[in-house]
Amino acid sequence: MNYTTGSMIIISAFKKFKVGEVVDKVNSKNGILYTIKSEDGKVYGNVLVDAKKNNIFIHSNLTNSFLKSKDNGHK
């Protein structure tokens, strides 16, 4: 999954799910690293997508479900 700056996403931060926004992204040899600002104002750097071995990662399945339900609620 490739997210753009300003995208709304769901992150898993130390086994808690949070809504966040992509504020920056950079390409690296490990993939795309994102900087995320969460709903509580915390900023998380070097976040990968679906890197479940990490303490903090973007959860793409939950993000997709969240965005679909949000879109359906606005119709």
Percentage with pLDDT > 90 across the chain: 84
50 against 69, higher pLDDT: 50
pTM: 0.89
For residue 40, pLDDT over 60 is answered with yes
Q: Measure the CA–CA gap between 73 and 31, rounded to whole angstroms.
A: 33
b/e per residue 34-58 (b: at least 16 CB within 10 A): bbbebeeeeebeebbbeeeeeebbb
Across residues 12-40, what is the average pLDDT? 96
CA angle in degrees (0–180, nearest 5) for 24-10-59: 95
Mean residue pLDDT across the chain: 93
Q: Measure the CA–CA gap between 33 and 40, rounded to whole angstroms.
A: 21
For residue 71, pLDDT over 80 is answered with no
